[in-house]
Amino acid sequence: MNVSRVLELIVKEFIKTYGSTPEVIASTPGRLDFLNTHQDYKGLPVVSVAINKRMYVAVASSREESRVISLNLCLEGLECRDVFSAKNVALREKGFFGNYIRSVVLALRESNFRIGDFNMLIYSEIPVASGLASSAALQVAVLGALNELFGFNLAKHDIAELAYHSEHDIMGIPCGRLDQYGSSMGGITKINTRPPYSTKTYRGFHWLFVVLNSGIKHSTAEVHPRRISEIVGGLKQLLLMPDLPVSIRVYLSERIDSVVWEKLDISELEPYLERVSSVSRKRILFTLKMHKSTELALSLLEEPCSSNMRSVRDFLEVECRECLEYAERSEHELLKLISGIVNYQHILLRDLYDVSLPELELIRNVALRLGALGVKISGAGLGGSLLALVNSRDTGELVAKNARAREAWIVEVDESGVRVNYSARSS
């Protein structure tokens, strides 16, 4: 459905529900977890790709109470309505969809924004629990709509940070900042996850992706705490070693977001990692190798010159020659090398972080045989979606139809991020 038809549907349903037209309609894209997956909660930069599947939120002022309805949840026969006072709001039981909106209101009030009551209608093109950051997109879109309705003058960075605070601190979900910033900023965006949480968006890379939804539901609230605990266990073991050199010790901490990961040298650290429990060793190696490969990929986005391309190719030849085999089918060296990095990072997620499943591996292997250049998990893993880079729409359609995923979509990069689609204030 194109944007104009989506907006027509939203206006029609808003009038049916509330008896008036919306004053604001805002939307924001879903995102693919492109590079450096599972690194944002460690303070390392991550790279997202915003895609042209969007979350829409329509709002109008209310003089009584705040009312919220989710069209998608109603269509699924699930609890889809919420009513509360914006002046006296609290979270309900865990798992209630309305908490995502309530937590945004709480975050705004904590930041001393004067927010009144409103009527809200939500419509999403982004499937839930599929690795496309639907929950973050919802909160970013809600903030985008309320920002315009009440004239808060929030920048995209502010919206992303408030959305993160809403989900992480108020709702207590142990997420990083990848989802909120990726959805808010749009494009291919590098997100520095240490203060002041700066971003850089790369434009002009009009690559095609196929999103392959496994249909297996998953939750970051189940994955992240376990991996964090495993890494912390390894860090504690390292710090207890009396012979650990100062050149390593100075960069370590028992807090994974305080470790200066980018200063650690794998070759220097590896002899000591051999004395760490096998699971913790794998998680720490994953962190270092994932970051190194992301730095190389970013060098190509910054400057796709021959020397940078040679460095990436040399790295992959040593680390994972098989990662280039499918990617070599592309005629474009940049896309070929980026696809090789994508394959490498999936293997790290599978072998060193243990977040793949046989079902995901089957989908990935079929997609590669059908012509995909690079395929990796997008999101926390243990379900959700994979992303596949493809050369053309024809190849994308072949992969989407035959890769044994429950659902699949061909998507493009969405460079706009959070935006206001309609506002009575400016019309």
In a domain, 210, yes or no: no
pLDDT in tens, 60-110: 999 999 999 999 999 999 999 999 999 999 999 999 999 999 999 999 999
Q: How far apart are CA 288 and CA 249, in angstroms?
A: 16
Q: What is the pLDDT of residue 427?
A: 61
Residue 298: give its domain's CATH number.
Answer: 3.30.70.890
Q: How far apart are CA 239 and CA 183, in angstroms?
A: 37
Q: How far apart are CA 35 and CA 299, in angstroms?
A: 13
Does an H or E element contain 103, and which? Answer: helix 99-110
In a domain, 116, yes or no: yes
Contact assessment for residue 50 and residue 417, using Cβ atoms and an 8 Å cutoff? yes
- String of DSSP letters for 233-299: HHHHHHHT-TT--HHHHTT--SSTTTS-GGG--HHHHHHHHTTS-HHHHHHHHHHHHHHHHHHHHHH
Q: How far apart are CA 211 and CA 227, in angstroms?
A: 25
pLDDT in tens, 166-200: 999 999 987 778 889 999 999 999 999 888 889 99
Q: Is the pTM of this model over 0.75?
A: yes
| Torsion-angle region of 83 (φ positive above 0: left; ψ -120 to 50: alpha; else: beta) | beta
In a domain, 208, yes or no: no
Residue 129 has pLDDT above 70, yes or no: no
Supply the range of the domain harboring residue 183: 3-203+417-423
Is there a single domain that holds both residue 162 and residue 277? no
Q: How far apart are CA 19 and CA 30, in angstroms?
A: 30
Calculate the average pLDDT of the chain: 94
Is there a single domain that holds both residue 75 and residue 182? yes
Residue 219 has pLDDT above 80, yes or no: no
Compute the Cα dihedral for 248, 249, 254, 259 and give only its sign: negative
Q: What is the pLDDT of residue 384?
A: 85
Number of structural domains the chain divides into: 2
Q: Where are the beta strands (DSSP E) in 116-181?
A: 118-124
Between CA 346 and CA 352, with CA 348 as vertex, the angle to 5 degrees is 140
Q: How far apart are CA 119 and CA 121, in angstroms?
A: 7
As a whole number, mean pLDDT of residues 353-367 equals 97
As a whole number, mean pLDDT of residues 136-151 equals 97
Does an H or E element contain 171, and which? Answer: none
Residue 225 has pLDDT above 80, yes or no: yes
As a whole number, mean pLDDT of residues 21-45 equals 94
In a domain, 215, yes or no: no
Q: Which of 151-160, 175-184, 216-225, 235-244 shows the lowest mean pLDDT across its residues?
A: 216-225
In a domain, 259, yes or no: yes
Q: What is the pLDDT of residue 175?
A: 76
Is there a single domain that holds both residue 10 and residue 126? yes
Is there a single domain that holds both residue 246 and residue 119? no
Question: What is the percent of the chain with per-residue pLDDT over 70, rounded to a whole number?
Answer: 98
pLDDT in tens, 299-334: 999 999 999 999 999 999 999 999 999 999 999 999
In a domain, 349, yes or no: yes
Is there a single domain that holds both residue 152 and residue 263? no
Q: Are strands 118-124 and 46-61 parallel, antiparallel or unpaired?
A: antiparallel
Cis peptide before 225 (omega within 30 of 0): no
Residue 329's Cβ-side half-sphere holds a number of Cα atoms within 13 Å equal to 18
Q: How far apart are CA 289 and CA 282, in angstroms?
A: 10
In a domain, 211, yes or no: no
Is there a single domain that holds both residue 120 and residue 265? no
Residue 130 has pLDDT above 80, yes or no: no
Contact assessment for residue 102 and residue 130, using Cβ atoms and an 8 Å cutoff? no
Is there a single domain that holds both residue 371 and residue 397? yes
As a whole number, mean pLDDT of residues 139-150 equals 98
Residue 128 has pLDDT above 90, yes or no: no
Amino acid in the structure at residue 212: L
Nearest alpha carbon to residue 97 among 70, 132, 123, 76: 70
Backbone angles phi, psi at 190, to 5 degrees: -85, 130
Q: Which of 17-21, 221-225, 277-281, 405-409 shows the lowest mean pLDDT across its residues?
A: 221-225
Model confidence at 425, pLDDT cuts 50, 70, 90, reads: confident
Is there a single domain that holds both residue 258 and residue 357? yes
Residue 78: give its domain's CATH number.
Answer: 3.30.230.10
Is there a single domain that holds both residue 154 and residue 281? no
Is there a single domain that holds both residue 225 and residue 369? yes
As a whole number, mean pLDDT of residues 153-160 equals 96
User: Measured between alpha carbons, how far is residue 39 from residues 34, 130, 262, 424 in Å?
Assistant: 12, 19, 12, 41
Residue 215 has pLDDT above 90, yes or no: no
Can you list the alpha helix ranges (DSSP code H) found in 186-219?
none
Residue 401 has pLDDT above 90, yes or no: yes
As a whole number, mean pLDDT of residues 226-255 equals 97
In a domain, 213, yes or no: no
User: Measured between alpha carbons, how far is residue 77 from residues 70, 71, 74, 83, 285 in Å?
Assistant: 11, 10, 5, 18, 45
Is there a single domain that holds both residue 184 and residue 228? no
Q: What is the pLDDT of residue 36?
A: 96
Q: What is the pLDDT of residue 1?
A: 67
Is there a single domain that holds both residue 275 and residue 378? yes
* Distance between start and end Cα atoms, the chain: 24
pLDDT in tens, 269-302: 999 999 999 999 999 999 999 999 999 999 999 9
Backbone angles phi, psi at 245, to 5 degrees: -60, 150
